[in-house]
Amino acid sequence: MSLKYESTRDNRVNVRPSEAVVKGLSDDGGLFVPREIDGLGLDIKEMCSLNFHETAKKVLSLFFTDFSEEQINDSVMKAYDSKFDDPEIVPVKKVGETYIMELFHGSTIAFKDIALSILPHLMKKAQSNCRMKEEIVILTATSGDTGKAALEGFKDVEGTQIIVFYPNDGVSKVQEMQMLTTDGANTHVVAVEGNFDDAQSAVKAIFNDQDLRAKLSAKGMKFSSANSINIGRLVPQISYYFSTYADMVKKDQIKLGDKINFVIPTGNFGNILAGYFAKTLGLPVGKLICAANENNVLYDFLNTGVYDINRDFKKTMSPSMDILISSNLERLLYFMSDKDNAYVAELMDQLKKNKKYEVTDEIKAKIKDQFWSSYCSESDTSQTVKKVYEEEGYLLDTHTAVAYKVYEDYVKATDDESKSVILSTASPFKFTGSVYKALFGQTETDELNLIAELSHQTGIEVPKQIEGLGDRKILHKRFCRPQTMPNEILNILDEK
């Protein structure tokens, strides 16, 4: 079957998979979705016999039907190579009564590496499939992890420029230094006044800025995205849900066909949406458990059906989840509304005008059937890091701690005896300051200097990916306001 992608907001917009990957975002502001996903499926018995690389090839072939088998194979084998420090790519560890899916073994020690290691390969092949001559300008807003992973993935990739915007004082020091010290002739990093939502909203507006697009076209350039609004970023994430299930079957931790739950620390809703896609494809999933921090807009929505961003934005110790406008939720609304593009467009218009919308009772019921949610306070996040380390000898990062606490909430609130897997989205060394403080109390030591101290105190080796991070030269020093981001982009491209 040759798959087509349409806009969440207009079913008259239909493009090939390669076009969806290259464009990133539909011209109408909608996100690309595969309308025929209900007709897709994977044989779970076969999937449980595969390794991670074989799993990724199966998943990608299903969604990117205009890519050749050779293109898929080449992309997978080049993406998931020695830059991952574990041959399993995504190992699964038993911790207490639950299981931890470790998604932090790539080059930037965060889960975004899984998708952003392969996206540049998919992007270049998609360009070729579309016979596209323009240089691609990757435009990305990040709440912390996407930025470095995208920079690493696209660094020095011929025919591309990558510009990453991040909220000034809105990411961890380790995340910031990872971005600011990235080399490569085509990499650009800009701190933005405000929070992630400010940067992300500005990026979306830029994608639909006809004047700016015309100026880029005159330079022989075209915008695309490395955020999970790009379907090429989202689809690779489906793979680790299947590989984790297969891993647990192979270890006799579950029987083939048993349903398991996944607990996902969630901000932009991409990671959990990949789990929803996996379930749609036939993975035996019980509940997809959405773990929120104190920016609990998703928790409120999943429990009430009301999405309301008329609230204070909070900076937390799990900054990658400090998001109020969850872009990928739009894709879920598309499927929950039985692919009613006009209805989705109406909700997005309400959100833009009123900063709020409410879905129908029918959609509320569907969501309750698929998802469960709770949220974790700052104090509970710290306490969970300390408790799990002292009781289980396992060190969680702050985002994974949010998920662990929400998993405990789920166990208390339900009689579900299904096994649960927590998605660990980052190494604890990515958020050294908060983790160290949770374990040993406040310290005046700089966060970068705490990396070695945390390793010394816990006996856990510093990931080689960030060794000597504090000694690296800062290469990017740009700063702007959200409203001046278009000018900043033009300045960057004029200087290159």
Please give the pLDDT value at position 27.
Answer: 92
The CATH number of the domain holding residue 289 is 3.40.50.1100
Q: Is 375 part of any domain?
A: yes
CB-based contact 324:271 (threshold 8 Å): no
Cβ-Cβ contacts under 8 Å for 250 (sequence gap 6 or more):
48
Q: Which residue among the candidates 4, 23, 57, 112 is catalytic per the annotation?
A: 112
Q: Is position 128 within any domain? A: no
29 SS3 class: coil
- Identify the domain containing residue 102 by its residue range: 92-109+234-464
**Single-letter amino acid, residue 199:** A
Choose among 105, 110, 89, 100: nearest CA to 421. 100
Does the reported pTM lie above 0.85? yes
User: What are the structure tokens assigned to 83, written together?
Assistant: 């830059």
Q: How many domains does the chain have?
A: 1
**Is 219 inside a domain boundary?**
no
Q: Which helix (H) or strand (E) holds 188?
A: strand 187-192
Distance CA 440, CA 435 (A): 9
**Structural contact between residues 279 and 436, judged by C-beta atoms closer than 8 angstroms:** no
pLDDT in the model for residue 400: 98
Single-letter residue type at 319: P
**Residue 115 lies inside a defined structural domain of this protein:** no
Tell whether 389 is covered by a domain.
yes
Averages of pLDDT over each 10 residues, the chain, 496 residues? 92 96 94 93 98 98 98 98 97 97 97 97 96 94 93 95 96 96 97 95 93 95 93 98 98 98 96 98 98 98 98 95 96 98 98 97 98 98 98 98 98 97 98 97 90 96 95 97 97 90
Q: Is residue 399 part of a domain?
A: yes
312 belongs to a structural domain: yes
Q: Is the separation of the CB atoms in 434 and 325 below 8 Å?
A: no
Q: Does the active-site annotation cover 496?
A: no
Other residues' Cβ atoms within 10 Å of the Cβ of residue 338:
10
Mapped onto helix, strand or coil, the DSSP state of residue 178 is helix
Output the CA–CA distances (angstroms, integers) from residue 435 to 91, 263, 440, in the order listed.
Answer: 22, 20, 9
In degrees, rounded to 5, the angle at the alpha carbon of residue 136 between the alpha carbons of residues 130 and 138 is 125
pLDDT of amino acid 495: 86
Regarding beta strands 221-224 and 187-192, do their DSSP bridges make them parallel or antiparallel, or are they unpaired? unpaired
Residues with Cβ within 8 Å of 421's Cβ and at least 6 positions away in sequence, in order, are 92, 98, 99, 100, 101, 244, 248, 260, 261, 262, 263
Q: Give the number of C-alpha atoms closer than 13 A to the C-alpha of residue 400, restricted to the C-beta side.
A: 30
Could you tell me the end-to-end alpha-carbon distance of the chain, in angstroms, rounded to an integer? 42
